[in-house]
Amino acid sequence: ILWVFMGSLIYLPVLGVSENRPSVLRGDELVVCPENERNVKYRGYVHSVHLDSVTLGFGAKLLNIFIEGMKFSVEFIMNRLTLRVQHRAVELAVTSNLRHVLFPAETSSSCQNSNLPKLTLFNRLLEKNPEQYHAIQHIVAGSSRPAPYLLFGPPGTGKTVTLVEAIKQIEKTQTNCHILACAPSNSAADLLCKRIVETHVDKHKVYRMYASCLDPRVVPEELKACSNLVGDTFSYPDKETLMSYKIIVSTMMTAGRLVTGGIPFGHFTHVFLDEAGHAVEPECLIPLAGLLDPESGQVVLAGDHKQLGPIVRSPFALQYGMGVSFLERLMCDFSLYQKQNGVFNNRYVTKLLRNYRSHPAILKIPNELFYDGELQVCADEMLRNSFCGWEHLPEENFPVIFHGVTGIDQREASSPSFFNVAEVEVLMDYVKKLMQTNGKKGMGTISPRDIGIIAPYRKQVQKIRKGLEKVGKDLRLNNMDAVKVGSVEEFQGQERRVIMVSTVRSSTDYLQMDQKFHLGFVKNEKRFNVAVTRAKALLIVVGNPRVLKSDSTWARFIQYCRDEGGYIGIEMEEEHVMFERLTALCITLESQVEESGVQQNVELEWRNEM
């Protein structure tokens, strides 16, 4: 049913649109067909997207016959623009001769370590971190050119800070530079831009370019003055104006407008791609192909291929490698970016080693499993230890909890998504305990915005949000909506003082489906890595250990919690140990059955075990 909205616009309720079900953006097309006129179709456009509705614009033909409350069948049309831009980038990569950027080989660059520039950094703290400082030196010197320079940034090691400092140093020291800085998402691009304009860079030299489909209300206040937001709409300046800026920041996809607008080949001397491990490879090509001279330009990729890669739904696309990012392909397939005699070649890649986020107990397992045990704990001591004395820890000074729960995988008829009520109840109990001990018994203060809850299924996210509403009413707190609840993908690049993880699965029946469609936590190392490395001071994982232990990564984590005293809840090994002991007794009985008197003793022992 369609309704009139603000005169010439039409209002359509769409439940789930805020969660991209369906995925609808401003400017998308749709077709509507009146219920009583099956052969007549009207084309319209999405004017704006709200929490559970969209407003639509139509031409005069529909508006002239429209009566409020009319029923229509509605068909949203897939926007192929993003795919077309990626196809163009792949074609331009060939004609732009990006071979040595995409398939790099070792070159005899004139810039050796002895010729690296001595830099006075804007952020003086980075001078105390040798990995960050040397990475900035190599990027400024262009030591890897024409091969891309890779900044391998494990969780909490400050890769974005390093990237921003390198951008500022290039702008300061190279008068003819033109820098394009991109990220896969608007939130990541906004973070880049905010940090660039914070200090030391003239804001008039920086331009934040947004896509026209973005909701203007999400543009950060501090970036409006240096962006293409004019009033409530986005405009695009002429080519000459764009070329006058020293630094342009956009998403990778929006960078395609620069090619469309005729920015000359080779105009950009440096292209920085943050969160490069999270984008499909053709997306990373958009800011490069047709804009960067591969011989004189410098490409810098920052990210972590051990965390979540591109989100690709198509099995066909996954079969042909689209699930592997540009960053991961370089790190895994080219010797330039691999360790030789146990170390990386800093001329091409730097691995950041100092973690400024997490307590050592939180960092230990991902450090061992994914980062060769090289990460160093450098987080603020007071912050990282702020929950070591929490009265609800199973083991004092060990701020990691695995809470074993035997729940039930459930689905509602209208949704294919799973939820687990037992886990929600345990999570809400921990939330209550956190809020009730807030600022008491020597504990520091904590607010809902310091807490994050990660769950792999949308329905579990919804159940957790409802649970938080109830907790808020019970404790008379009206800001529990500040607790961030979302998927692992939504938490990548983020951090909270307290992170809780709901694994949901309590049955092995659906594990093959999860693995096939890349859902859930089991058999997915990258999703596990992201989930457990978001926490600064307290990590709580709720799940069924009997299901999770089928995955070697989870089995290692659960055993670690057990060894350190952080395990609570159902006993994982009771049934398993019983089965093994009974099996051993069977073998003993069979081998000794002929011996007089032994059989009776063994049978008595069997009965005791039962």
Res 575: pLDDT: 42
At residue 113 the predicted structure's pLDDT band, cuts being 50, 70 and 90, is low
Assess whether pLDDT exceeds 60 at residue 293: yes
pLDDT 10s digits, 129-140: 999 999 999 999
CA dihedral 255, 256, 260, 265 (to 10 degrees): 70
Q: Select from 543, 541, 537 the least CA-distant residue to 504.
A: 543
- pLDDT tens-digit series, residues 339-383: 999 999 999 999 999 999 999 999 999 999 999 999 999 999 999
Q: Which two tokens stand for residue 247?
A: 């630094």
CATH number of this structure's domain 3-76: 2.40.30
**pLDDT score of 439:** 73
Mean pLDDT value of segment 491-506:
91
Beta partners for residue 182, in sequence order: 250, 273
CA 215 to CA 25: how far, in whole Å? 9
Task: Let me know if domain 81-352 sits in CATH 3.40.50.300.
Answer: yes
The 8-class DSSP code of residue 472 comes to: H
Residues of CATH 2.40.30 domain(s) within the chain? 3-76
Mean per-residue pLDDT for 429-457? 88
Write out pLDDT tens, residues 27-59.
889 999 988 887 889 999 998 888 778 889 998
Hey, which bits of 40-81 come out as E strands? 42-49, 53-58, 72-76
pLDDT of residue 601: 40
Label residue 542 by pLDDT band (50, 70, 90). very high
Output the 3-class SS for 298-341.
Answer: EEEEEECCCCCCCCCCCHHHHHCCCCCCHHHHHHHHCHHHCCEC
pLDDT recorded at residue 13: 85
- Burial of residue 323, with CB atoms counted within 10 A of its CB: 0-12 exposed, 13-18 middle, 19 or more buried: middle
**Percent of the chain clearing pLDDT 90 (strictly above):** 66
Percent of the chain exceeding pLDDT 70 equals 87
Q: Is the pLDDT confidence value at 585 over 60?
A: no
pLDDT at 582: 43
Evaluate if residue 509 carries a pLDDT over 70: no
pLDDT tens column, 72-85: 888 888 888 999 99
pLDDT at 313: 78
pLDDT confidence tier of residue 605, bands split at 50, 70 and 90: very low
**pLDDT tens column, 384-437:** 999 999 999 999 999 999 999 988 878 776 566 788 999 999 999 999 999 998
Give pLDDT, residue 8. 79
How much is the pLDDT for 573? 52
pLDDT of 12 reads 86
C-alpha span between 144 and 159 (Å, rounded)? 18
pLDDT of residue 516: 57
Q: What is the mean pLDDT of the chain?
A: 87
Q: Which helix (H) or strand (E) holds 233?
A: strand 233-234
Confidence of residue 519 (pLDDT cuts 50, 70, 90): low
Report the pLDDT value the prediction gives residue 443, as an integer from 0 to 100.
74
What is the pLDDT, as a whole number, of residue 5? 61
Average pLDDT over residues 143-158: 96
Instruction: Give the per-residue pLDDT at 593.
Output: 45
Count CA within 13 A, CB hemisphere, residue 239: 9
The predicted structure's pLDDT at residue 560: 97
**353: its two tokens:** 């080693």
> How many whole angstroms separate alpha carbon 523 and alpha carbon 508?
12
Which residue intervals of the chain bear CATH 3.40.50.300? 81-352, 360-572
Where does residue 390 fall: left (phi above 0), alpha (psi -120 to 50 degrees), or beta otherwise?
Answer: beta
Distance (Å, whole) CA 318 – CA 608: 54
CATH class of 360-572: alpha beta
pLDDT at 18: 64
The answer to which of 325-329, 417-421, 513-517, 579-583 has the lowest mean pLDDT is 579-583
Residue 245 has pLDDT above 70, yes or no: yes
**Cα 235 vs. chain centroid, distance in angstroms?**
29
| Average confidence (pLDDT) over 541-545 | 95
Say what the pLDDT of residue 70 is. Answer: 84
Evaluate whether 97 touches 146 at the Cβ level (below 8 Å).
no
Mean pLDDT of the 110-134 span: 86
Find the mean pLDDT for residues 186-200. Answer: 92
